[in-house]
Structure 1
Amino acid sequence: MLRLICIKLPKQLKHKASSLTHGHFFSTSSVKPIAELPNSKDPQSLTVSFLQNSCGLSLESAISASQKLNIENLKNPNSVLDLLRTHGLTQTHIRKLISSRPRLLLADLDNILKPNMELFESLGISSTSLAKMLSNANNPRVLESDAYTVVEFFRAHGFRNEQISTLTVKRPLLYLFNAQKILKPKLDFFKSLGFSDLEIAKLLSTQPSILARSLEKQIIPCVQELRKIRGTDENVLKAIKAGYGILEANVEKVLKPKMSMLISRGVPQSLALKMFFLGPTSLLMSTYRFSEIVSEVMKLGFDPNILQFIVAIRSLAMSKTLWERKVEAYKSFGLSKDEIYSALKRQPLFMRVSEKKIQKSMGFFVNKLKMKPSLISKNPILIRYSLEKRIIPRCSVLQLLISKRLIKEDTSIFHVFGMNENEFVEKLVSKYQNEVPDVVRAHQGKIEFQGFPVDLKLWVL
């Protein structure tokens, strides 16, 4: 039988057919000879050809996919592909999507596929995000779901479009769930704990994987264990709000051992429990890595009897690779390792900022303000401030007032940066806005900061 099939196959396909058969990829009793001629009447041959030429599948993938559909059953073989392309999917996306879900080509275009695509688009999901989401292995089934019912369910429970959009991209398979039977009981449970609709929407759009976890086997047992540790529902609520991922943890195996470790290192139990409020995600790390971080914090000289010890653990709670990248980012602007650790002791959250923010903030202070790196080490809180909302607008105000000789050139910029917003506006904006109207525009970020004169004495501590 195999010999007859190979005789009818074009020469360039004989080897593939033989290897596929010997690998048991498909049964020779169920597959007809594949003709290369475009006018072939063989349905399977036409289907394989369409999957290869229009969808970009390899011969092997096309043969496998052809077992699940027949091109003769397609009203317009290219209509689904045209729809996908219209919504930004490339040929690469389409190949992945059809490879994992060939029967998508048989789906109801007008009543299901098109309305779903338009619905996702109306939520504000970009074509790039949509294409990436749909081309993942299991996600194409979302296009055939009753997406409208799920979206309306979330809207009825206080979710905004942008939250539904985030949830969709992060966890698209939620659209395959029965909203009333599977999703609603979880929302009701969170409400029974004291969460408001707005808080539930924030929680689940931030951590949508929680909705995929079992209410009876994971969520409720986790809350019950947290209640034993924290004592009241109010404290449990605070712990969950501080780190939503805690709801997916095994309290007995993951969280409790770390609490015991802290206590064994001299941390009072009352202080160790504050980890649930200040850094619960730190408790989700591997026990080995958590132990390394606790040891590092002790080497730095933090007292286990004060709150800063817990804050420092939270600050260092990252992978070794990320930690080293952040250290290198600071070093690239002239800070020594000793200065970095000195800054960390002054301001434990110094290392909590992102690598991108380190580069951006250090670049501004060192290159634009001509500040010595050692001064930043002595004033590490600077790295925590927002460049766009605080630092640059205040520099623009200072630049303007100094040029008008309204404030002294030896004004401490550290003091100016450290003022709370109300104090800054009162002393340096409102006070001068009649005399220098542009000071308001400078504070609003509408006047570009050009830089201070090099000899300006602003670095008074």
Structure 2
Amino acid sequence: MNKLYFSQTNQMLRLIYIKLPKQLKHKASSLTHGHFFSTSSAKPIAELPNSNDPQSPTVSFLQNSCGLSLESAISASQKLNIENLKNPNSVLGLLRTHGLTQTHIRNLISSRPRLLLADLDNTLKPNMELFESLGISSTSLAKMLSNNPHVLPRVLESDAYTVVEFFRAHGFRNEQISTLTMKRPTLYLLNPHKILKPKFEFFKSLGLSGPEIAKLLSTQPTILARSLEKQIIPCVQELRQILGTDENVLKAIKAGYGIIEVNVEKVLKPNMSMLISRGVPQSLALKLFFLGPKSLLMTTCRFSEIVSEVMKLGFDPNKLQFVIAIRSMAMSKTLWEQKVETYRSFGLSKVEIYSAFKRKPLFMAVSEKKIKKSMGFFVNKLKIKPSLISKNPILIRFSLEKRIIPRCSVLQLLISKRLIKEDTSIFQAVIMSENKFVEKLVSKYQNEVPDVVMAHQGKIEFQGFPIDLKQ
């Protein structure tokens, strides 16, 4: 009890000493030649470990080289001694070489000073090089370390190769392992054979292939943190009861990996019951699992708002479009309003936006970024009237890079060669099937104009049409 008391008292006095004005420190230093207490069991301050001394080499190094405050340096110095470090500057140099700033280093060493004791050649350096071999840039690595200061030092000191080789053996590409590393760095603290392997085997038993498991986990890495016995298996059993067959469960999982993490009793079942109570046939309600179960995983309150809104818009609960509309509206109210405003910024009225949504509900399922990019191309580059886009909302669903721009490049080339009429419809050219487009506008002219093949492959830049085409 006395030792603990004296230790705590001495630590407090050290901190008081640190904050004393310079003129008082000289007087206070004289106390170090005597005892604070008259009892024989009390130790003189002179006998305290040097690493706790504000002027000790350890504290100075932590301040000057690592950027720690005096208080943090004194606290960290209790966990290491500069004399025990083979070459602490080499550790810091390695971190800096891999893109860590002084701020990153300060945060890391403050939370885990023993990182300076890491085996540079056998652990720290190989692990840093391993992360780089996965395609993780220095900037990304520094960001990951900075965002996980309490976890990553342990990762850097561990045998990361074991985890990486485990994933590679199960069909993961370096890109997928890199994604997992950035999203879930704590996976390097897990025993892959005791914790990860049973989950992999269970997913295989459901019928998921190695590449599908890799896609599942790199897309939804939080599943790695879920208990197999308490969450994943019970959830699959509940889904089996709802969907009837293992085949349907597998289809639902592939449609939305997050479904494995849902609380079936508190979230999924109440939302299903609500749909049925609003007049949606059970067979139709179940289709949401396969269209994209994201909407069913929303809070009951938000899900109820979406169902009510879809009904107000006049969708028929007995038609497939009803559940497609729910699936497309499955987002926060704020995000929905942001998308509406983005469309409006390109000249569409609110009436036209909802009219387009009723024609093709997936019109609102694209990202806000894609809306801006697609509408910008149609309105500014092709000079298409916004009102015409609302009447052909399927245009927004097509890929600009893979479909629309290459097809426009083909039209641009053929018009310049006077091989097709100037009144060719842009909409018809974009909407027609791939096979029909190739047959009518690529294969037909490739002998006469070989570049038409390159244009269709997106290898010729689209610069705009010489005249306004028919819309």
> What is residue 210 of structure 1 aligned with on the other side?
223
Q: How many residues align?
A: 441
Equivalent residues in 2 for 1:146-225, closer than 5 Å? 146-225=159-238
Partners of 2:22 and 2:156 in 1: how far apart?
34
> CA, structure 1 residues 53+14, in 2 after alignment: closer, same or farther (shift >3 Å)?
farther
Shift of 1:182: 0.7
Question: Is the 2:256–2:294 contact (alpha carbons within 8 Å) kept by the matching residues of 1?
Answer: yes
Match of 2:224, SS state, is: helix
> What is residue 150 of structure 2 aligned with on the other side?
138
Partners of 1:307 and 1:125 in 2: how far apart?
44
> What is residue 104 of structure 2 aligned with on the other side?
93
1:282-311 deviations in whole A, cap 9, x for unaligned? 112111111111111111111111111111
> CA, structure 1 residues 11+273, in 2 after alignment: closer, same or farther (shift >3 Å)?
same
Question: Is the 2:52–2:78 contact (alpha carbons within 8 Å) kept by the matching residues of 1?
Answer: no
Shift of 1:207: 1.1
> Does residue 109 in structure 1 map to residue 115 in structure 2?
no
After the TM superposition, which segments of 4 or more aligned residues of structure 1 sit over 6 Å from their partners? 1-4, 29-33
Partners of 2:123 and 2:440 in 1: how far apart?
61
> Does residue 301 in structure 1 map to residue 311 in structure 2?
no
Q: What is the one-letter code of the residue matched to 2:56?
A: S
Q: What is the one-letter code of the residue matched to 2:72?
A: S
Question: Is the 1:327–1:340 contact (alpha carbons within 8 Å) kept by the matching residues of 2?
Answer: yes
Question: Is the 2:118–2:157 contact (alpha carbons within 8 Å) kept by the matching residues of 1?
Answer: yes
Question: Is the 2:235–2:261 contact (alpha carbons within 8 Å) kept by the matching residues of 1?
Answer: yes
Equivalent residues in 2 for 1:36-435, closer than 5 Å? 42=53, 45-135=56-146, 136-140=148-152, 141-435=154-448
CA RMSD of aligned residues (A): 2.4
Q: What is the one-letter code of the residue matched to 2:150?
A: N
Shift of 1:40: 9.8
Question: Is the 1:142–1:175 contact (alpha carbons within 8 Å) kept by the matching residues of 2?
Answer: yes
454, 458, 461: which one pairs with 2:470?
A: 458
1:27-60 deviations in whole A, cap 9, x for unaligned? xx99979xxxxx9995873322222221122333
1:297-334 deviations in whole A, cap 9, x for unaligned? 11111111111111111111111221111111111110
- TM-score normalised according to structure 1 size: 0.90
Q: What is the one-letter code of the residue matched to 2:142?
A: A
442, 447, 458: which one pairs with 2:460?
A: 447
> What is residue 26 of structure 1 aligned with on the other side?
none
Q: What is the one-letter code of the residue matched to 2:403?
A: R
Q: What is the one-letter code of the residue matched to 1:51?
A: L
Partners of 2:22 and 2:243 in 1: how far apart?
67
Task: Flag structure 1 segments of 5+ consecutive residues without an equivalent.
Answer: 16-28, 34-38
1:90-119 deviations in whole A, cap 9, x for unaligned? 112112222222111111111111111111
> What is residue 22 of structure 1 aligned with on the other side?
none
Q: What is the one-letter code of the residue matched to 2:398?
A: Y
Match of 2:88, SS state, is: coil
Shift of 1:131: 1.1
Stretch of structure 1 that moved more, 132-141 or 226-235: 132-141
> What is residue 18 of structure 1 aligned with on the other side?
none
> CA, structure 1 residues 73+428, in 2 after alignment: closer, same or farther (shift >3 Å)?
same
Q: Which of 1 and 2 has greater Rg?
A: 2
Match of 2:56, SS state, is: helix
Partners of 2:14 and 2:398 in 1: how far apart?
72
Q: What is the one-letter code of the residue matched to 2:304?
A: S
Match of 1:447, SS state, is: coil
Partners of 2:229 and 2:44 in 1: how far apart?
47
Question: Is the 2:52–2:77 contact (alpha carbons within 8 Å) kept by the matching residues of 1?
Answer: no
Stretch of structure 1 that moved more, 50-59 or 391-400: 50-59
Identity %: 83
Q: What is the one-letter code of the residue matched to 2:438?
A: V
Question: Is the 1:263–1:269 contact (alpha carbons within 8 Å) kept by the matching residues of 2?
Answer: yes
Shift of 1:450: 2.0
> CA, structure 1 residues 5+453, in 2 after alignment: closer, same or farther (shift >3 Å)?
closer
